[in-house]
Each structure stands twice: as C-alpha cells, then as structure tokens.
Amino acid sequence: MQRLTVAGSCVAFYILAIGLPRAHGAEAGLLVLLAVLACAEKLCAIMNMVSVERDWVVVVAGEDQAALRVINAQMRRIDLTCKLIGPLFIALIDGMSTEAAILVSLGMNVASVAVEYFAIAQVYYEVPELQQPKTKPRDESLGRTEHRGRFVHSWRNVRKVIQKSVYDFSLYFYHPAFLPSFASALLYLTVLSFAGQMVTYLLSAGYNSTQVGIARTLSVVIEVLATWIAPWLMGRIGPVRAGLWLVNWQIVCLVAGTSVFWAFSDQPNMSASGLVVGTILSRMGLRGFDLCAQIIIQEDVEAAHRGSFSSVEASWQNVFELCSYASTIIFSRPEQFKWPTILSVIAIVAASVLYTVFVYSRRGHLVHLSKWMEMVRSQKGKQRSREQGLRRIASSSDI
C-alpha cells in the first residue's frame, strides 16, 4: 500500500510536469490528491515501522540480545544509506530531466512492490512465532455486533474506539518503558537537522546548494557510523548506560554549535557554520541514542502491547515534529531562527533529563562511586610507591 500511494503521487506529478491541458480547477484537485496520498503514505510508513521494527525484529531475534542489537543496527544502516543514495540518484536524473526523474521513481516503486511483498512473506512463513496471535481472539457475538456497528456508525462502536485509545495512552504513560520512549520522541522537536527548515536558513545565510548537499552527506555518514559505534558501546556497557552517554554527547555538540551561532550572530556565514558543525557531530548521539532506546523498548514492552505502545510513541513523535514546524511558522524570518534553535536545545536537554531519571530508577545510581574511589585509591597507592622508590634511590645515592 505504501508503494502504491507513492506510485500514484508520481503519476499526479507527471501530469503536472508535462503540462497536459486540464479543465478549470484540475490543478488544484491534483494538489489536493497529492496531499491526501502523502498522508496515506505517512500512515502506511508508521504502520510498517510499528509492525516490522518494533515487533517482528524482536520475534526473529528471540532471546539472543546480541542478535537483536545487530539486526536493529543493520536495518537502520540500510535505511540511512538508502536515504543518502536515493535522493542523490534522483537529483542527478532530475538535473537532466524532471519528467525522467518522476518516471524512474514511479518504476522503482512499482517494481519494489513484488520484491518487498515476497521478502516479507518469506520472513513471515519461515518464522512460526510471527503467525501466532498476540492477543486473545474476540468473542464471535461481539464481532457480529462490531460488524453491524461499522456499517451503521453506532455510538457503541465509537465509544469502543475512544475507550481503546484511552487505554492505549494510559498503558503508555504508566509503562516502565515510558521515559526512554518519550525522551526519544521528544528529540523530534528540533530544527537542528538538515531538513527543510534548517536548509532554508542556510541558503539565506549565504550557503549554496552544493555546500548544503555536502553538509547533508557528512551528516548521513556520521549517522551511518553511529550504527557501528552504538552496538559496540552497548556490548561494552549495556544499552541503558550507552543511551545516557550518547544523549549527553548530542547535548554537548548542539550546545557548542548553538553557542557559536549566538556568539557570531553578526556574521551569518560564521554562525551558520558553527551550527552546521555542531549538528553534524550531534547526529552520532542522536542515532546512537535512538538505537539504545529502541533496544530498551523492545526488551521491556510485552508482546501483546508492542503494537499499541509503539503506535502511541509514533503519535508523540509526530506531535513534536509538528511543534518544530510551528516554531518556524511563528519565527519565520531568518534573523529569528535563533529562537527555534534554542527551543530545539531545550527539548533535547529535557529528553536527557527524562532519560537520566529512567537510568537512576533502573540502576539506582548514575556513576559507579565505588569504582571511582578504588581508582583514586590505586592512583594514590601508585604515587606513594613512586615516592618511596625515589626516597630509597636518594638515600642510596647519599651513601
């Protein structure tokens, strides 16, 4: 379904691009159709993410936590690589012909339907656990009542939907994995990524499209690198501590970049460059923390609740993403971009605080004070041994 909506969008774009004679209002109708298809594609993408990344991966990995980390990292690596190569490939074709770029995108999406379907079906049938229902089957009489309710739009059916939504949200807020999940969702309230808002500001600050493209490429390279570093770090210190280290790395990079951005506000190119460097380096912490939080959620959330829990999390991600768009609507001029950047840093600090509370509640401490004391004592012992050795050498030389 996701690929078919994209294919339909390509058809609409092609009609607009070749300039076919259209009736009055047809162009506005095509734009409305494109908006509806984009919404449908987003919904399908969320459902695909919830089912595959948050449920199937856990079932396939089973009890092997190392395999779970590897699968998550490899899937994210493939996703980021495609996001780097795909737009670059289409942009190169678009440089020669926009119509050709649309047709290539259409052909790739149509061809990928069969490939993706058979790949997903193969995994589904090769892993018997995926075919087992995660919730108890509903009563048959209840199913007939709901069936009639769907057609007559009865109040009882609407009330059940509302009750189910309230239950899902209450489950989410009271679940032990709420804090890392909400902290991860809060990171979507940011303009400090190479999306439309920041790209628009960089262009107004004097960057050209080539420089922006290079910065975006470096950002994706750092993100792909995080898919190797985060699993290695989790293997050494565990996902809980690794997440704390990585989210703090993100804060340090963004605070440094934002400080340069504010300090050189009278030099647009210099301030924008500080923001670019800080944002690029922060992507290591962002993707690494996202992988750590995903591992924690996958391990803690029960199989029967994975779908509803991840759906509520996705809704919060989209709410915070809308808030980031609203911030640039309110502060729409380039000289006002500093306020959305401050809001983004505050959101990331808030996410770090929430995750720190989770770490403390899970582990009972944030720092191994006993190990620090042992380290200090060992350093003092070594220092005393060195001093005693020096005194013996001095006394022997005096003799």
| pLDDT score recorded for residue 399 | 46
Count of CB atoms within 10 A of residue 264's CB? Answer: 16
Report the pLDDT averaged over residues 335-347. Answer: 91
> And the tokens for 110?
């149509």
Q: For 236-264, what is the mean pLDDT?
A: 90
Task: Map residue 264 onto helix, strand or coil.
Answer: coil
**Torsions phi, psi for 377 (to 5 deg):** -65, -40
- pLDDT exceeds 50 at position 118: yes
Q: At what angle do helices 268-300 and 306-330 cross, to 10 degrees?
A: 160
Task: Please tell me the predicted confidence (pLDDT) of residue 136.
Answer: 59
DSSP string, 354-391: HHHHHHHHHHS-SS-HHHHHHHHHHHHHHHHHHHHHHH
Lowest mean per-residue pLDDT among 79-93, 109-123, 316-330, 367-381: 367-381
Sign of CA dihedral 51, 53, 54, 55: positive
Residues 325 and 197 sit within 8 Å (Cβ to Cβ): yes
Radius of gyration of the chain measured on its C-alpha atoms: 26
Q: What is the pLDDT of residues 12-40, one digit of tens each?
A: 888 888 877 666 777 788 888 888 988 88
Evaluate if residue 390 carries a pLDDT over 80: no
Q: Can you identify the CATH homologous superfamily of domain 171-380?
A: MFS general substrate transporter like domains (1.20.1250.20)
Task: State residue 97's pLDDT score.
Answer: 83
Burial 183-212 (b: 16+ CB within 10 A, else e): bbbbbbbbbbbbeebbbbbbeebebeeeeb
From the list 247, 321, 244, 238, the residue with the least C-alpha distance to 282 is 247
The pLDDT value recorded for residue 21 is: 67
- In the chain the first and final C-alpha atoms are separated, in Å, by 91
Lowest-pLDDT choice from 57-66, 162-171, 254-263, 286-295: 57-66
C-alpha 211/C-alpha 186 separation (Å) is 29
Question: What is the tens place of the pLDDT at every residue in 262-318?
Answer: 888 888 888 889 999 999 999 999 999 998 998 888 888 887 788 788 888 888 999
Average pLDDT of the chain to the nearest whole number: 82
Sequence-separated (6 or more) residues with CB below 8 Å from residue 281: 222, 253, 257
267 CA to centre of own chain: 32
pLDDT, position 142? 46
Going from the C-alpha of 178 to that of each of 73, 106, 163, 169, 289, the distances in angstroms are: 22, 40, 20, 11, 15
| In contact, 258 and 281? CB cutoff 8 Å | no
The domain limits of the chain are 1-131, 171-380
Nearest to 184 by CA among 296, 77, 335: 296
Percentage of the chain with pLDDT > 90? 20
